[in-house]
Amino acid sequence: MKIGFIGLGIMGKPMCRNLMKAGYDLTVFNRSQAAVEELAAEGAGKARSAADLASRCDVVVTMLPDSPDVKAVVLGGSGVLEGAKPGTLVIDMSSIAPAASREVAMACKAKGVRMLDAPVSGGEPKAVDGTLTIMAGGDKADFDAVKEAILLKMGGSAVYCGEIGAGNTTKLANQIIVAANIAACAEAFTLAKKAGVAPELVLDAIRGGLAGSAVMEAKVPMMIGGNYDPGFRINLHIKDLTNAVNTAHAFGSPLQVAPIVMEMLQWLNVNGCGALDHSAINKFYEHLSGDKLGET
């Protein structure tokens, strides 16, 4: 089975490496040629365009920033559908609007191309070690065919969530929970610091209780250390929460917490922090409190 991979950013590049470690014949394409050359030096094939890649592959994986990018790469000129053969499977692992997933899938179906939407959670560290959480929508038979063979070469878990778009709906729920958790951690640890209790000791004390979470374990040490190297950028989390708000509006689902956190992230983005890790929401609280978690 030949696999093509489009989108070699923070997440895509290590995902490609895990597919190559699994022994797959991988062909890659990316707007930035430097990432293509890097993976080519490690054994990946190079495509001239998305259409060229699709013409050579049985499965095409896309890992792109947002809905317009996926539409352009799959539906646009020199896109995947220009080169894909009937029966080709597109696995879009981007985090995009569920409505966009359904639109792209309908266009694929008209050309005899199958599609799964299979966004991921876990950020760069889990992309590197191949333990991403994958949530998928589409035809169950297509999911079953690639779960063990492909998806679990990049992830630690892969769960079928329903028809096309269900994967990205699940991802939106995930992103609301993650955003709220990060904001709650920043708020709580700022309170502890302002009250004269060392944040490191608070972390040690509560991590084993009900407040403990994967988010707290991953993000609070970054806040304390002032390390905001991006595993998942603020501007991308804004994109996800925007998609969550738009989807909630479409279905009449009430949102209260997500818009509040999105406004914090928007303020940070406007103030030059958009490319930082989303743990930098702590900087919003630093601005308001005049205190930093890592300072003694």
- Per-residue pLDDT averaged across 154-166, rounded? 98
Q: Which residues contact 14 (CB under 8 A, 6 or more apart)?
A: 124, 127, 128
Residue pLDDT, tens place only, 169-227:
999 999 999 999 999 999 999 999 999 999 999 999 999 999 999 999 999 999 999 99
Q: Which residues form the catalytic set?
A: 171
The pLDDT of residue 295 = 77
| CB within 8 Å of 292: residues ≥ 6 apart | 193, 226, 286
Domain ranges of the chain: 2-163, 169-289
Residue type, 20: M
Q: CB atoms < 10 A from the CB of 181, how many?
A: 17
Nearest alpha-carbon partner for 122 in 207, 214, 213: 214
Query: Given CA atoms 79, 81, 82, 87 in this order, what sign does their dihedral have?
Result: positive
Topology, domain 2-163: Rossmann fold (3.40.50)
> Are residues 97 and 168 in contact, defined by beta-carbon separation less than 8 angstroms?
yes
Percent of the chain with pLDDT over 90: 98
DSSP string, 87-141: T-EEEE-S---HHHHHHHHHHHHHTT-EEEE--EESHHHHHHHT-EEEEEEE-HH
Average pLDDT over residues 41-53: 98
CB-CB contact of 255 with 245 (8 Å): yes
User: pTM of the predicted model, to two decimals?
Assistant: 0.94
User: Residue 125: what pLDDT?
Assistant: 92
Q: What integer pLDDT is reported at residue 294 of this predicted model?
A: 79
Q: How many residues does the chain have?
A: 296
Contact yes or no for 89/59 (Cβ under 8 A) = yes
CA quadruple 78, 84, 86, 88: dihedral positive or negative? Answer: negative
Confidence band of 296 (pLDDT split at 50, 70, 90): low
Q: What is the mean pLDDT of the chain?
A: 97
Chosen CATH of 169-289 out of 3.40.50.970, 1.10.940.10, 1.50.10.20, 1.10.1040.10: 1.10.1040.10
Across the range 37-60, mean pLDDT stands at 98
**Same fold across 2-163 and 169-289:** no
pLDDT at 98 over 80: yes
